[in-house]
Amino acid sequence: MGALTLVAAGPLAAQAADPTPAQVQTGFSSSAYGSYIVNADKSLVSGPTASSTISCTAATGKTSSNNVAATNVPLVGSVGAAQTNIKTLLTATGKRTEANSTIAGATLLGGLISAGTITSKSTADKSTTGAYSGTNETTIADLKVLGIAVKASPAPNTVIDLKDPLLGSLGKVTLNGQEKRLVNGTYQVATTAIRVQILKAGLPGLNIGTDIRLGVSAAKLTPPQAGYFTGNGFSTKASLLSGLVKSGATAYAEVKCAGGTSTANVAGASIPGVLTAGAATTNTNATLTPAPKVTVINTLAGLNVLGGLITADAIKAETSASRATAGGTVTLTDTSTFTNLKIKGLASINASVAPNTVVQVAGLGKVTLHKVFKSSSSVAVVMVEIVLEQALGALPTGSKIQIGSASSGVHS
């Protein structure tokens, strides 16, 4: 048989060049925290502490950080001060997200486990060729488990039997827990420096299923999309001057980053000693086609603050954000309304009150009506915001009460 000869039918097409690092298409969704401690029935929950997140974005140059002082968890032990930080960045070969967690030591389970500084780091990269790669790193200084020293850089997914001489095997300790996976176009790298799982009764007050995680970092690259959505809605919420939440958000629903709908409702809402309200509902809706758009609507019936000091038959907080073209200007709307709003002693206040109206209400404090905040890509509304000038119920002076909230955003 003669030699084969290849004959070109025409000129060869030029091969498409790989994109530059800046042209790599990916989304980012990363997180880190210091510690998270929980038991099976959720009667014990601590954390996540010093939680940092970056999500719903394709932008490089983003950063997020957090820190918290040392904590002591009854029956579990003490966890040192924690710091976390996350970033998204452009590299010489593509794009990367990096998550870090550091804890200044821990003593757990009456000294069965002790450690000096604990760190974990996770990175996820996408190159100009579309290839994914990642790294997991853990260091644990002065680590001892059951009194036995363990090297500072344990092998990935090292498991130690938590076997007490008197009580037997109580559970297990996993060191330098690592994970890398690519599922449905999402690449995730996760690292847990120390994980303790209680699998048998024996330690006073600790139930089977108690889970202790220290030094957790997760770096995630998500499929690119035409726009990334943010936002949420709720009916009532109260927080202390320090920012600590005293009464959690009711009828809370969050916008889904990649689009879709979510709903939450309650038959009634109250903050003891301060307010009561009727049925409340939050609906979110986000669509990518024909153009990115998100809408958040919270409705609340029958508001009554301090026995009639502030009343409204109904409150609607409604915001939306949309963008007609990729990278174009975001259009923001606020169509929020009051129905029959009244404040005792202030006859000028009614349902047509102008946005960002601030009044001082005797016996209550500073009240902002239809509070609006806008950025280039998002809009947020709180229909009634009260900063207390005196203690009411379980809320001390300076506490903030928010009623009727909706926020919407679209960004790259």
Whole-number Cα distances in Å, 4 to 7, 12, 145: 10, 19, 69
The whole-chain average pLDDT of the chain stands at: 91
- Nearest C-alpha neighbor of 60 from the set 34, 32, 31, 21: 21
Give pLDDT tens digits for 317-326: 999 999 987 7
Phi, psi at residue 362, to the nearest 5°? Answer: -60, 135
Residue 290, helix vs strand vs coil: coil
Give pLDDT tens digits for 373-383: 999 999 999 99
Domain positions in the chain are 21-222, 228-411
pTM of the predicted structure, to 2 decimals: 0.72
Cα torsion 240, 85, 197, 146 to 10°: value is -110
Give pLDDT tens digits for 43-85: 778 888 899 999 888 999 999 999 999 989 888 999 999 999 9
Going by pLDDT thresholds of 50, 70 and 90, the confidence category of residue 117 is very high
pLDDT value, residue 323: 92
CA angle 352–353–358, rounded 5-degree value: 175
CA angle 365–368–369, rounded 5-degree value: 130
Could you identify the residue written with the tokens 């119920």?
A: 393
Beta bridge partners of residue 384, listed in sequence order: 369, 403
Could you identify the residue written with the tokens 């449905």?
A: 184
pLDDT value, residue 12: 46
Radius of gyration in angstroms for the set of CA atoms belonging to the chain, rounded to a whole number: 27
Going by pLDDT thresholds of 50, 70 and 90, the confidence category of residue 19 is confident
Separation between Cα atoms, residue 315 and residue 317, nearest integer Å: 7
Distance of CA 107 to the CA centre of its chain: 27
Cβ neighbors of 125 (< 8 A, separation 6 or more) are 91, 93, 94, 95, 96, 132, 133, 134, 221
Weakest mean pLDDT among 223-227, 289-293, 352-356? 223-227
Separation between Cα atoms, residue 277 and residue 110, nearest integer Å: 47
Whole-number Cα distances in Å, 159 to 107, 120, 174, 263, 296: 18, 17, 4, 42, 46
